[in-house]
Chains A and B, each alone.
Chain A
Amino acid sequence: MIETRGLRKSFRSRAGRETKTVDAVRGVNLEVAEGEIFGFLGPNGAGKTTTLRMLATLIEPDGGEATIAGADLRKDPAEVRRRIGYVAQGGSTWDESTAREELVLHARLYGISKAEAHRRATRALDAFQLSEYADRKCKTYSGGQRRRVDIALGIIHEPKIVFLDEPTTGLDPQSRAHMWDEIRRLRTEGMTVFITTHYLDEADALCDRIAIMDHGEVVAEGTPAELKREISGEVLLVGLDAASTPRAAELLDTEGYVTKLETVDEGGLRLYVDEGATAIPQVLRRLDGAGLDLRSVELHRPSLDDVFLTKTGRSLRES
């Protein structure tokens, strides 16, 4: 659905007399499949918005190519515009307009007839639970309501792909959960959704696949589960008394699913395994069969933050 090769963008900015060049995006290669929720995870200034704005034809890339919904970004930006929707990070509604007016006009800018635009506006207002406020000026909306109008605007023309730049930033937990549902609903309607976020839990819970971005580069890409596994697999903390620990270590060391085994000082083992869920029953069987007294098994899953940490040497939480 989206394919990019070596997408680049630098900005020149003037600070006093000096001109500085910021390499905002330095060669991004991505592949996004049809019907998935693809997440762009990265700290402030990673280049997420810049990449999205390039893909949405708002700024011209300095280098590289991209195909979006079958249209070539460089050769046919007009066709790209017809096939995508884009919701900016900073919002897009005018204080003095009403949600309905914005939706109708926006639909009409895509060439949709007046009657159809009104129908779609009504439908979108319903779907996003905005009907109650539809004819009130946007300046009277809450942040969450306003954000929902932004999203409704982005999909009013039923695009194949929608780009959502930080759709949940600034929302309270409840509105965020709502927004996640809305975004999942878009996927069920067959839309490909490309979101950016700097929330780990959001990338984890919402996205089918993610790319982690840092300093203008994609440092890792895959499903959240893959990424976490790729880094360190999972860790099983096996609780044993000190006496049976050596024997258990001996038994488990030869098992194929254990990539690494460490003995814990006070007794017990730390097993590095590919997939904890399948390893647990095997460990239980093995130790039980040998008549060893097992106290506890604890599964420690690495988070996306661990992924980010190993790839960049920094924690996303801190940056």
Chain B
Amino acid sequence: MKLARDTWLIFQRQILLLLRNPVWLFVGVFQPVMYLLLFAPLLKPALNAPTQAAAYKIFVPGLLVLLAIFGGLFQGFGLIAELRAGVIERSRVTPVSRLALLLGRSLRDVVSLIVQAIIITLLALLFDLRVNLGYLLLAYLMLALIALMTSAVSYGVALKVKSEDALAPLMNTVAQPVLLLSGILLPLLYAPGWLQGIAKWNPFSWAVDGTRALFAGDLGNDKVWQGLAIVAVLAVAGVVWAARQFARSVR
């Protein structure tokens, strides 16, 4: 199938270039590890958690979702560099599927996020975090969908604004309220009612709740399927929109 073949070609190239410059892995893991080591210990007393492991069960899923959101949102910068080098324009004169131009890149972002997530999960195991493997895979699916959506949106916006100077403040402006209103770092359990009311409208808040439920081993929790459904729908919408930008982007 043409779409699959084209996506694979783009993905391969992107992965190759990524591996050629493995600094990303170090940077991508260093920061979350700092959170894990230096921030998480504060949580047991703050969250009133019975054990350190219980605190990690709440904190690690939030941290992973955070990584998925930010990892995705800032991928647009790489695309602007490609745009400037003429690589995108060169791809667009070939009959390659426009959707593949997007998916090949976004899938690279998903893969690199999952690698980061695995490393962080393994480290958290050292701190007595225990998760059922099946549930963990479902949680990774949630992360993958989030990263797919945020990276697609970032690429779409990058193609629209075409400059780092415009992309950076835009992405920061989007990311900040999303972050604060999702209960990523601390659950919104103790938030005042109005704040919880607003957070309901933040899809990432559902995604975080769902991921936490999975880490807690609570598969029956409605938040799990609701979170997955919401991010899946948004990921599809984001991909469709961004692919359209690839089809008509001007210089």
Residues of A within 8 A of B (CB): 56-60, 78, 81-82, 84-86, 88, 90-97, 101, 105-106, 108-111, 153, 157
- Determine whether the beta carbon of A110 is less than 8 Å from that of B95: yes
Tell me the smallest distance from the CB of B8 to a CB of chain A, in Å.
Answer: 10
- Determine whether the beta carbon of B95 is less than 8 Å from that of A111: yes
Q: What residues on B are CB-neighbors of A84 within 8 Å?
A: 93
Q: Is the C-beta of B21 less than 8 angstroms from some C-beta in chain A?
A: yes
Query: Total number of A-B contacts with CB less than 8 angstroms?
Result: 61
CA distance A301 to B86 in the complex (A): 40
CA distance A59 to B87 in the complex (A): 16
Q: A105-B9, A153-B90 given as contacts; is B95 within 8 A of A82 (CB)?
A: yes
Tell me the smallest distance from the CB of B144 to a CB of chain A, in Å.
Answer: 25
Task: Write the chain B residue with the least CB distance to A114.
Answer: B9
- B6, B94, B250: the one contacting A59 at CB < 8 Å is B250
Q: What residues on A are CB-neighbors of B95 within 8 Å?
A: 78, 81-82, 109-111
Tell me the smallest distance from the CB of A2 to a CB of chain B, in Å.
Answer: 15
- Determine whether the beta carbon of A109 is less than 8 Å from that of B85: no
Q: A94-B82, A96-B17, A101-B13 given as contacts; is B92 within 8 A of A88 (CB)?
A: no
- B6, B21, B92: the one contacting A58 at CB < 8 Å is B92
Q: What residues on B are CB-neighbors of A93 within 8 Å?
A: 85-87
Which residues 48-95 in B have Cβ within 8 Å of A in the complex? 82, 85-87, 89-95
- A91, A95, A109, A157: the one contacting B91 at CB < 8 Å is A109
Q: What residues on B are CB-neighbors of A57 within 8 Å?
A: 92-93
- Determine whether the beta carbon of A81 is less than 8 Å from that of B17: no
- Determine whether the beta carbon of B21 is less than 8 Å from that of A96: yes
Q: A59-B250, A81-B94, A109-B95 given as contacts; is B9 within 8 A of A92 (CB)?
A: no
- Determine whether the beta carbon of B9 is less than 8 Å from that of A81: no
Q: What residues on A are CB-neighbors of B96 within 8 Å?
A: 109
Q: 0/1 per residue, B185-206, Cβ < 8 Å to A?
A: 0000000000000000000000
Interface of B is mostly: helix
CA distance A153 to B86 in the complex (A): 12
Listed A/B pairs (9) with beta-carbon separation below 8 Å? A81-B93, A84-B93, A86-B90, A86-B93, A90-B86, A92-B86, A94-B82, A96-B17, A157-B94
- Determine whether the beta carbon of B90 is less than 8 Å from that of A106: yes
CA distance A46 to B6 in the complex (A): 36
Tell me the smallest distance from the CB of A71 to a CB of chain B, in Å.
Answer: 12
- Determine whether the beta carbon of A58 is less than 8 Å from that of B89: yes
A96-B17, A111-B95 known; 9 other A-B pairs, CB under 8 Å? A81-B95, A86-B90, A88-B86, A92-B90, A97-B13, A105-B13, A106-B90, A109-B9, A153-B90
CA distance A111 to B94 in the complex (A): 9
Q: A101-B13, A105-B9 given as contacts; is B86 within 8 A of A91 (CB)?
A: yes
CA distance A82 to B9 in the complex (A): 18
CA distance A129 to B21 in the complex (A): 29
CA distance A82 to B93 in the complex (A): 9
